Amino acid sequence: MKAGFKYELLHQDKHCGARLGRLTTPRGVIDLPTFMPVGTCGTVKGLTTGLLEQTGAQIILGNTYHLHLRPGADIVQQMGELPKFMGWNKPMLTDSGGFQVFSLAKLTKITEEGAKFRSHIDGSLIDLTPEISVSIQEKLGADIAMVFDHVIELPNARSAVKDAMDRTIRWAKRCKDAHSKESQVQFAIVQGGLDERLRQECCKELIELDFPGYAIGGLSVGEPPEEMYRILDGTTPALPEDKPRYLMGVGTPEDLLEAVKRGVDMFDCVMPTRNGRNATAFTDSGKMKLRNLCHQTDPSPLMEGIDTPYSHLSRAYLGHLFRAKEMLGPILLSLHNLAYYQRLMKQAREAIAADRFVDFYHERMLGWKK
């Protein structure tokens, strides 16, 4: 890796593929496995960076597509790059925009050169190529930048999935060739749909390009969880042991532990904050819907073991905030959910170090099924 970057595989659980690791970047150290809160437009919705630090977050994600449209990468660079712009003095990762081109943009046209699409904000015509994605991410200035990939709708014909995978590999090489920022590393993205052989072929081709880290993309797009786990079973063993592995856009607490068990190190998802904004809290006993009448006079906190300045507040009070449409409700529940995810990852790391991750996995799964 470049100067200032280092990945260390500290320990693998004796009973499964779960890995304890450490990723060092110029802005700080990340303990793995880890969960990255999603700061799409330069903010994790509703939370200050100070509150994010209180959840235990060590790295957050910014979005190339959204920041390119608004306020623009040149403005962010002028303001001292994204971490300084938003007041986050810890590691950051930016995704490439590939998934948003697939999911948000209007009238998208994919060619070998890149993607042409209409902005979902004002309808303006936008070009996004591997080289442009790299340039935007270098201006944004995150520690880790993702290559520009071709995300395809699933299910789909194998020929179409392979075509998108092959294009992703070619685009990855173009991204690597265009990359010049010394204070930033690039991670490649493995595509291949729900076909294990294509995933393994993609791994092989990308490994030959020798990236500092590898992500698994194109999952959690509507396929059954069992299908995602099957693909992880076939993909993670094909990735290098001495480099970090990142499962993009995932997911539920159950998904995180399933993937950790299979050797994944990094995650991101909007689920904790999106659920928080909709009055749903994650707990060791499953999801708790605060609008339900059973919580209206409940003096209990959401759950024991979550340490935020507001974790003592009652379920009754939090439910009241949502019924009264007070903006504090979504803020406090987003804070709780992110703290819960960070606690889950910390407990996973401790369990891996003690070679008891499988026991921890079963304990949590049993609690969530109650």
In the set 95, 149, 265, 284, the catalytic residue is: 95
DSSP at 313: S
Upstream peptide bond of 155 is cis (omega within 30 degrees of 0): yes
Active-site hit among 143, 149, 268, 284: 268
Task: Give the relative orientation of helices 328-353 and 253-261 as an angle to the nearest 10 degrees.
Answer: 20
Please count the other Cβ atoms lying within 10 Å of the Cβ belonging to residue 118: 15
Known catalytic residue at 95: yes
**In 24-62, which positions are buried (b, 16+ CB within 10 angstroms) versus exposed (e)?**
bbebeebbbbbbbbbbbebbbbbbebebbebbbbbbbbb
268 is catalytic: yes
Q: What is the DSSP letter of 342?
A: H
Q: Is the bond preceding residue 253 a cis peptide, omega within 30 degrees?
A: no
Does an H or E element contain 220, and which?
A: none
Which sequence positions are flagged as catalytic? 95, 268
